[in-house]
Amino acid sequence: MGEALINKNIFYVLVFITIFGLASVSLFVVNQNISLQNQLGDYQGQITELQNQNSELNNQISELENQLSQVTNLVKITRFTKTGFSPICGMLIVSTANVTVHNFGINDVNGLTLSIKFYDVETLSEPLQIGNLSAGEERTISHSILWILTNDPDEPFVATLWLGDQLLDEYILGHSAGLP
């Protein structure tokens, strides 16, 4: 019976050690879990801060790209002349416009459109696709303008240069007291 008592005491000691060990491990795991949750909260705060900084940087990039496009897409109409007053048929008249455009920017520009019309009256001519204009290039474009004799031939003409839907330049040829 003494041996059974010793075995029973050993059993209780082993159970106690096991329970104590499991409690210690559980406490360690809980502390680690709390520590990891705190770290996760810190990381989430850092992620939010980095996302805000990323958003600010994207806004700055957009602003810089806009400023750069104003420099790189610096294409201007430098000269505009109109010659001729040739009747085609009936009251339909054709004149020739010579428009010189210059790319003062640092990059080639593609997708330019040039339209020429009376200042406040539509003409029958379609807008002209210029194509690629290299950096530093100057090009003179000759284009026929169709218009109806009922328009005053001394009325100002306007040449408008577009890149997509962005107005790059406008040149008014002629003079009138009512022009802005």
pTM given for the model: 0.56
Band of residue 177 on the pLDDT scale cut at 50, 70, 90: very low
Nearest residue to 117 via CA among 151, 92, 86, 90: 151
Does the pLDDT value for residue 139 go beyond 50? yes
**What is the distance between the alpha carbons of residues 78 and 140, in angstroms, rounded to a whole number?**
9
Nearest residue to 77 via CA among 167, 177, 146, 176: 167
What is the layout of strands, in order, in the sheet containing 138-148?
A: 75-89, 92-103, 138-148
Nearest residue to 144 via CA among 112, 102, 98: 98
**What digits encode the pLDDT tens for the residues 49-79?**
999 999 999 999 888 877 766 655 689 999 9
Lowest mean pLDDT among 13-27, 81-95, 98-112, 133-147: 81-95
**What digits encode the pLDDT tens for the residues 111-120?**
999 988 876 6
Lowest mean pLDDT among 38-42, 96-100, 112-116, 145-149: 145-149
The mean pLDDT of 137-159, rounded to a whole number, is 79
List Cα–Cα distances, 116 to 33, 83, 146, 163, 173, in angstroms: 73, 13, 10, 15, 10
